[in-house]
Structure 1
Amino acid sequence: MKEEKLKAFFENQVHAVVERAAVDQGSFLPYFAEHDPRDDEILALLAVSTMASGDFAPDARFPTPVEALAALPADLRSEICQEFRRHLKYCLNRTPSA
């Protein structure tokens, strides 16, 4: 996968992961409501969630989501993390139980 395609994939995963968490009372939302998530927390959450969901289609270059995220340049990983923070804030603002 090319870098932009990987970035787009993980940005879609950001929305899926946060939306699932918004309806799960035992999710990470309360934890992240208390502090701004660090990039390493976001990337780890995305890697594990993507692997667990089975949404990642491995190829020869990137057999796991962890390797795919690690292969992205720092600026693209940062953009993914910023998108996570934006969507997280949106969900926290619309979810009174978080």
Structure 2
Amino acid sequence: MFARIYKPPKNAMQSGKANTARWVLEFEPDMARRVDPLMGWTSGDETTSGQVRMKFDSKDEAVAYAERHGLPFTLEAEHEAAPQPKAYSDNFSFKRRKPWTH
């Protein structure tokens, strides 16, 4: 089992940053999923690949857990979004790409 440790990015569908403060340890699948010939569903034999997701308060805790249990892991860098300054008056600017309409 190979583990991946990362900090999840902000959800693109929401403006808030919920569920982005904790570090996540997920397991990578050992083998590819296969299609069930009878039902046509995709399935796999291992439950750790898509169903086990552990959350930690810090990166060090996640790394310590993986090392304590002898799990090989990759550590992904933390993503930090650059804020884009915006002002209400930009909605009415002459440099706007599309004309403002109601």
Which structure is higher in strand share? 2
Which structure is higher in helix share? 1
Q: Which has the larger radius of gyration?
A: 2
Greater RCO, CA 8 A, separation 6+: 1
- When the two structures are superposed, what TM-score results if normalisation uses the length of structure 2? 0.30
- When the two structures are superposed, what TM-score results if normalisation uses the length of structure 1? 0.31
